[in-house]
Amino acid sequence: MKRVVTIQDISCFGKCSITVALPIISAMGIECAIIPTSVLSTHTGGFEGFTFRDLSEDIPKIKEHWKKYKLSFDTIYTGYLGSHSQIDYVIDFANEFKREDNLLFVDPAMGDKGKLYTGFDESFPPHMAKLCAIADIIVPNLTEASFMLGLEYKESYDEEYIKDVLKMLCVLGAKKAVLTGISYEKDTQGAVLYDSDTDEFYSYFASNIPMNFHGTGDTFASVFAGALTRGIEEKEALRLAVDFTVETIKATIPDAENHKYGTKFEKCLPSLIKRLDN
C-alpha cells in the first residue's frame, strides 16, 4: 500500500487541512500518516476568537522517532503551516525523508483573493518560498504565487501571464508548478500545470461556480497528491482533482450560507472511489 505523510494543522471545526486530507487520501486507498503542526478550534477564515496551539516543537521529535523506525513515505504532502519555525522544521523533515524516488508535494496554503490569511504578514511568503524551492511539485493559487514572487495580485489576466507566473515559480526551485483557481472566461475555472523539465504546460478547466466555500484548495491538493501517489499520470491526476473539487462545490450549493463550514465533500467520496476503480 502506498503511504503519504501530510504535514499541516488540525482545524477542529470547519473542514480544511488534515480533516480534509486524511479522509480523502484514505478513501483513495492510500495510508495517510499525519504530523499536526498546530491545533486550532476552527480555521482562521471567518470565525472570531479561534484557539491556536502551536505544536512546532513536536515536529523534530516526531522526525527523530520515525527515523529510528526507518519509516518511508511515497509522498510528503505539506499544507497550511502556522509559523516561520514550522516552515524550518518541515524543510528539515523533508531533507531527512526525501528520496530520489518519492514526491515532495507542497501546497503553500497562506492566502486567497489577493490577501494573506489572518495571522500572516508579508514576511511569511518569502519563507514559504524556501520550502517550495525544494519541492517536486507546488500547488499555489494566484494569491500565494504573487506573494511568493513579489508580484502585484491581478484579478484578471491572460494565458501568457499565467504561463510567465508558472515559469517564475519554477525558477524559485520547484520542478513543477500548478496554479489553481485559474479562470480566463467567466464560465470556466481550473488549474494550469507547468513542467520545467519538459517546458510543457497543461490546463484543465471545468464549470466555474461563482461561490466560495472554505477548504476547496485543500480538497484539490489532497486528491491531486493522492492521485500522483497512486502513480496516476499528471494530466489525469489534475483532471481528477479539478472534477472532484467542482463536484464537492456543487454538493454544497444548498448550504451556501454556511460557506465557512466547508464543503459536503463526504457525499462525493463514493464517486471518487468509483472513478479510481475504473
190 vs 262, beta carbon nearer ligand PXL: 262
3-state secondary structure 1-31: CCEEEEEEEEEEECCCCHHHHHHHHHHCCCE
Tell me if 9 contacts ligand PXL by CB under 6 A.
yes
Cα distance between residue 198 and residue 5, in whole Å = 28
In 3-state terms, the chain is what percent helix, strand and coil (to 5)? Answer: 45, 25, 35
Min dist. Cβ of residue 20 to ligand PXL (A): 8
Tell me if 259 contacts ligand PXL by CB under 6 A.
no
Q: Which of 4, 5, 16, 138 binds ligand PXL (CB under 6 A)?
A: 16
Residue 232 region, left (φ>0) first, then alpha (ψ -120 to 50), else beta?
beta
Min dist. Cβ of residue 220 to ligand PXL (A): 10
User: Quick one: which segment of 38-46, 63-71, 133-141, 250-258 binds ligand PXL (CB under 6 A)?
Assistant: 38-46
Q: Are strands 31-42 and 52-54 parallel, antiparallel or unpaired?
A: antiparallel
Contact letters for ligand PXL, residues 55-94 (x by CB under 6 A): -------------------------x--------------
Tell me if 45 contacts ligand PXL by CB under 6 A.
yes
User: Quick one: which segment of 37-45, 62-70, 94-102, 125-133 binds ligand PXL (CB under 6 A)?
Assistant: 37-45
Which residue has cell 480534509? 20
In one letter, which amino acid is 17? S
Contact letters for ligand PXL, residues 201-240 (x by CB under 6 A): --------------x-xx----------------------
User: Quick one: which segment of 40-48, 65-73, 91-99, 180-188 binds ligand PXL (CB under 6 A)?
Assistant: 40-48
Cα distance between residue 231 and residue 102, in whole Å = 11
| Burial letters 1-33, b for 16+ CB under 10 A, else e | ebbbbbbbbbbeebbbbbbbbbbbbebbebebb
Min dist. Cβ of residue 214 to ligand PXL (A): 6
Count interface residues toward ligand PXL (CB under 6 A): 14
Cα distance between residue 255 and residue 253, in whole Å = 5
Nearest to 45 by CA among 114, 116, 107: 116
Contact letters for ligand PXL, residues 113-152 (x by CB under 6 A): ----x-----------------------------------
Q: Which of 4, 6, 11, 170 binds ligand PXL (CB under 6 A)?
A: 11
What is the DSSP track for 231-244?
T--HHHHHHHHHHH
* Site of interaction with ligand PXL (CB under 6 A): 9, 11, 16-17, 40, 43-45, 80, 109, 117, 215, 217-218
